[in-house]
Amino acid sequence: MSKQTVITHLQIAMTKREVLEILFESGRPLTPDAVCRQLRGFHFRSSVYSYLFRLHKQGLLLRAPLYGRVAYQISERGIERLRFFRFQEGQQTEVRP
């Protein structure tokens, strides 16, 4: 009898740090679909749209129109949060806009 692997939502959850890293590294506004393609694992589009909007409401992302679509980029507050995450993990890498 073969043993099946069960994947839970905790194993594929996107993290705040992961999203902030993607937007920081891009250096430009990204659509939610572009962010979705860069995330590890499978994520529903609607979940990514909702999560980005939530981070925007927290002040970590800025919204901007991009060819008639919504796009997000990291804010100064988002950069500060990314510094905090990196510091927590012992990374001394400087984060600059």
Structure tokens at 42: 């499978």
Q: For a pLDDT cut of 90, what percent of the chain falls above it? A: 55
For residue 11, what pLDDT is reported? Answer: 47
Report the C-alpha gap between 12 and 94 in whole angstroms: 28
* Domain locations in the chain as residue ranges: 9-88
pLDDT 10s digits, 11-43: 457 899 999 999 999 999 999 999 999 988 778
pTM for the model: 0.78
Structure tokens at 10: 């905790």
| Residue 85 near residue 27 (C-beta atoms within 8 A) | no
Structure tokens at 87: 């510091």
CATH dotted code for 9-88: 1.10.10.10
